Amino acid sequence: MKTRLTSPDGTPASRLAFGAMQFGGRADAAASRAMFEAARAAGITHFDTAHLYNDGASETLLGAMLGDQRDQLIIATKAAYTGGGTKHNIHASFEISRKRLGLDVVDILYMHRFDPNTDLHESMEALAELKAQGVIRYIGVSNFAAWQVVKAIGIAAKFDITIDILQPMYNLVKRQAEVEILPMCADQDVACAPYSPLGGGLLTGKYSRSEAGRLTEDAAYAARYGPNWMHQAAVGLGEVAADVGVDPATLAVAWAAAHPMGPTPIISGRSAAQLGPSLAALSYDLGADLYARLAALSPTPPPATDRIEEQT
> For 126-148, what is the mean pLDDT?
98
CB-based contacts of 188, cutoff 8 Å, min separation 6: 149, 150, 153, 163
pLDDT at 1: 44
Query: Which pLDDT tens digit goes with each residue over 38-60?
Result: 999 999 999 999 999 999 999 99
Whether the Cβ atoms of residue 238 and residue 208 lie closer than 8 Å to each other: yes
The three-state secondary structure class of 241 is helix
Name the amino acid, one letter, at 223: A
Q: pLDDT exceeding 70 applies to what percent of the chain?
A: 98
Q: Report strand pairing: 46-48 vs 74-79.
A: parallel
Edge-to-edge strands of the sheet including 17-19?
191-192, 165-167, 136-142, 106-111, 74-79, 46-48, 17-19, 266-267
Q: Per residue in 279-300, pLDDT tens?
A: 999 999 999 999 999 999 999 9
| pLDDT for res 26 | 94
The 3-state DSSP class for residue 275 equals helix
pLDDT averaged over the chain? 96
How far is the C-alpha of 303 from the C-alpha of 182, rounded, in Å?
12
What is the pLDDT confidence band of residue 36, given thresholds at 50, 70 and 90? very high
Judge whether residue 108 has pLDDT over 90: yes
Q: What is the mean pLDDT of residues 269-282?
A: 97
Q: How confident is the model at residue 309 (pLDDT cuts 50, 70, 90)?
A: confident
Structural domains in the chain?
Answer: 17-199+259-276 (3.20.20.100)
Question: Over the stretch 213-243, which tens digit does the pLDDT of each residue have?
Answer: 888 888 999 999 999 999 999 999 999 999 9
Task: Find out whether 119 and 150 touch, Cβ atoms under 8 Å.
Answer: no
Which whole number is the average pLDDT over 182-208? Answer: 96
Write out pLDDT tens, residues 8-17. Answer: 999 999 999 9
Could you tell me the pTM of the whole model? 0.95
Residue 312: pLDDT above 80?
A: no
Yes or no: say if 269 and 42 are a contact pair by the CB < 8 Å rule: no
Active site residues per annotation: 53
Do residues 82 and 44 make contact, with C-beta atoms less than 8 angstroms apart? no
Residues 6+ apart with CB under 8 A from 248: 203, 204, 205, 234, 237, 238, 241, 277
Q: Are 182 and 261 in contact (CB under 8 A)?
A: yes
pLDDT over threshold 60, residue 2? no
